Structure 1
Amino acid sequence: MAERSSTPPDDLVALQRDADAARREAERQGHAPEAQRVWREAAAVVENAVAEHAAAAKVDPRQLERDVRQAARDADKA
């Protein structure tokens, strides 16, 4: 497996940004059950998409996940 992917796909970064936004909203709502559910579902979508992409691209899924999270954080700072 490749040690490091170059730039993670934009669709994975967008999914991570959505999950991050859902987390922030859950925190804003004091972790209300519905907000928690939305956050958990968004996180599961990211996890599954990363796993599928990593398998197809033959890259380390843990590294891809780290790259996606970092790219999402960087995009939020911009």
Structure 2
Amino acid sequence: METSYFHSLEEKKRLLARHGFDHWPDEGELLGYLFSLEDKLDAFCGAMGFTMVRDCRGRWCVCRATKQVDGGDSYAP
């Protein structure tokens, strides 16, 4: 029982370290991390020609980004 408890603690420490934390983050640190992650996802999707949108059920989907052509028309390549 003790070994699984300490093993669990070590796993949590490793998980936090992988995400750049050396302690349990507070609300402000978590929000900063989430905003940074969103910026990274937006940049990655933009570089790959995709965008993220929510469907009618509120779930996130990845779609091809629409392109504007002369005249204001939009299309998905």
Say yes or no: TM over 0.5: no
Which TM-score applies when normalising by structure 1?
Answer: 0.36
| Bigger proportion of residues as helix | 1
| Bigger proportion of residues as strand | 2
Answer with 1 or 2: which has the greater Rg. 2
